[in-house]
């Protein structure tokens, strides 16, 4: 029996890893989270301060022999700040060391990164991005985490794998860093106000090539990486495997929501959408939706980041395919499936 601990269990990545593991017969799952994630039925949940090593070690010790660590935790701070680097590095180091020191059965650690490794947040970068591309000028806490796991694991019996998804699409109630929630709430508010669905980002973003990573797809690749010896001590890009342009996808989204479509109109979501709280509350009440605080219903800052990236963002995913994970996802079709599920679950009207 494998016994996994998932850090960041209520986030979009961690919650889907838990859902994937819950479907497998030979896994016991423990989530580190301040609250129980949406649609989790089996896993055990505990809360701990990952910035405090003594507390982390004491609580992990009570969990018995952990065999696998899936790390998807993150604390948000201003970009490039000392707090962002130090806190996120410390949390990862603490959970790895705590499990290592309290479990004689540790087999594997999976670390989640992202395309910020390649500098997507800084400006136009080389595409398609490959796992062995040069780093940008630090700081970048992904670099600190990766340097730690590479150095710390040397000559140890356990293994590690690093996965690099792009924008993750999935269902995670109350987790605002979710492009599905951003689009869904924005569309619902626009429709309630009698507005057409306009792409709210920049024109160049509308026309650039983009990609996504389905959260369930990412979860399956995480389990694959943990159980596949050839994937150990390796780094993999992981996306749906296709690319798209928002200018082709956005009219399809408008059609799905039965809305009129019009050409893009740049809209700063962080400035405009907070004023729509009462509109959203009316939508929730009239449609008997799940009651989630408006500030957690959608992450407008995250939406602005995605919709204002004015250049191609493409990851080369040949490596993970060559190593044996060959699954691909049709992004357009999958988005419609996820929006339909959000409607069934009373997250969207």
Residue pair 217/305 in contact (Cβ under 8 Å)? The answer is no
For 289, the enclosing helix (H) or strand (E) is none
Q: Residues 45, 71, 74, 142: which is the catalytic one?
A: 142
Indicate the number of domains in the chain.
Answer: 2
Which tokens in the block code for residue 136?
């940008």
Please indicate, yes or no, whether residues 55 and 94 belong to a single structural domain of this protein.
yes
Q: Which pTM does this prediction carry?
A: 0.97
Alpha carbon distance 325, 344 (integer Å): 31
Phi then psi dihedrals of residue 301, to 5 deg: -65, -40
Same domain for 189 and 100, yes or no, is no
Active-site residue (options: 39, 116, 130, 346): 116
Co-location of 151 and 75 in the same domain: yes
What domain range is 112 assigned to?
Answer: 2-165+215-238
Q: Are residues 275 and 291 in the same domain?
A: yes
pLDDT at residue number 221: 99
207 and 219, same domain (yes or no)? no
Examine the domain organization and report whether 140 and 206 are in the same domain: no
Which CATH number goes with the domain that contains 36?
3.40.50.720
pLDDT tens per residue across all 349 residues of the chain: 999 999 999 899 999 999 999 999 999 999 998 766 666 666 789 999 999 999 999 999 999 999 999 999 999 999 999 999 999 999 999 999 999 999 999 999 999 999 999 999 999 999 999 999 999 999 999 999 999 999 999 999 999 999 999 999 999 888 888 999 999 999 999 999 999 999 999 999 999 999 999 999 999 999 999 999 999 999 999 999 999 999 999 999 999 999 999 999 999 999 999 999 999 999 999 999 999 999 999 999 999 999 999 999 999 999 999 999 999 999 999 999 999 999 999 999 9
Same domain, 35 and 180: no
Torsional sign, CA 112, 114, 117, 121: negative
pLDDT for 40 equals 62
Q: Compute the distance between CA of residue 186 and CA of residue 196 in angstroms, rounded to an integer.
A: 11
> Are 341 and 290 in a shared domain?
yes
Pair (139, 152) in one structural domain: yes
Q: DSSP readout, 37-99?
A: PTT--S-EEE---TT-HHHHHHHHHTT----EEEE------STT-HHHHHHHHHHHHHHHHHH
Number of helices and strands (H, E) in the chain? 14, 13
Whether residue 110 sits in one domain with residue 197? no
Active site residue 343: no
158 and 200 share a domain? Answer: no
**250 and 272 inside one domain:** yes
Cα→Cα distances 263→132, 203, 324, Å: 38, 9, 41
User: What per-residue confidence (pLDDT) applies to 33?
Assistant: 83
* Pairing, β 159-165 against β 2-7: unpaired
116 is catalytic: yes
Residue 29: DSSP 8-state: E
Structure confidence by residue, pLDDT tens digits, 297-328: 999 999 999 999 999 999 999 999 999 999 99
- Six-digit token string for 215: 């959260």
């Amino acid at each position: 029996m494998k016994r996994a601990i998932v850090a960041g269990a209520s986030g979009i990545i961690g919650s889907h890893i838990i859902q994937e593991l819950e479907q497998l017969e030979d896994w016991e799952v423990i989530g580190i989270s301040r609250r129980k994630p949406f649609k989790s039925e089996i896993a055990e949940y505990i809360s701990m301060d990952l910035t405090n090593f003594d507390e982390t070690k004491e609580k992990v010790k009570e969990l018995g022999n952990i065999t696998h660590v899936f790390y998807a935790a993150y604390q948000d701070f201003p970009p490039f700040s000392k707090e962002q680097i130090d806190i996120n590095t410390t949390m990862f180091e603490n959970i790895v060391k705590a499990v290592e020191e309290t479990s004689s059965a540790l087999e594997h650690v999976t670390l989640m990164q992202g395309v910020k490794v390649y500098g997507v947040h800084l400006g136009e970068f080389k595409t398609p991005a490959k796992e062995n591309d040069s780093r940008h000028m630090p700081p970048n806490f992904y670099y600190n985490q990766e340097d730690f796991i590479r150095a710390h694991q040397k000559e140890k019996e356990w293994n590690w794998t690093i996965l690099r998804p792009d924008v993750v699409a999935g269902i995670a109630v109350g987790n605002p860093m979710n492009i599905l929630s951003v689009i869904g709430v924005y569309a619902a508010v626009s429709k309630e106000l009698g507005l057409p669905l306009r792409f709210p980002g920049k024109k160049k973003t509308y026309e650039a090539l983009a990609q996504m990573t389905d959260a369930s797809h990412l979860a399956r690749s995480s389990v694959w990486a943990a159980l596949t010896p050839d994937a150990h001590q390796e780094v993999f890009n992981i996306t749906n495997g296709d690319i798209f342009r928002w200018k082709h996808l956005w009219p399809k989204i408008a059609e799905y929501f039965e809305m009129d479509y019009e050409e893009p109109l740049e809209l700063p979501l962080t400035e405009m959408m907070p004023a729509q709280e009462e509109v959203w509350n009316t939508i929730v009440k009239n449609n008997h939706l799940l009651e989630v605080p408006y500030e957690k219903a959608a992450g407008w800052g995250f939406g602005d980041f995605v919709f204002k990236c004015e250049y191609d963002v493409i990851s080369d995913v040949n490596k993970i395919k060559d190593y044996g994970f060959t699954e691909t996802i049709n992004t357009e079709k999958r988005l419609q499936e996820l929006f339909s599920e959000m409607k069934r679950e009373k997250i969207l009207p």
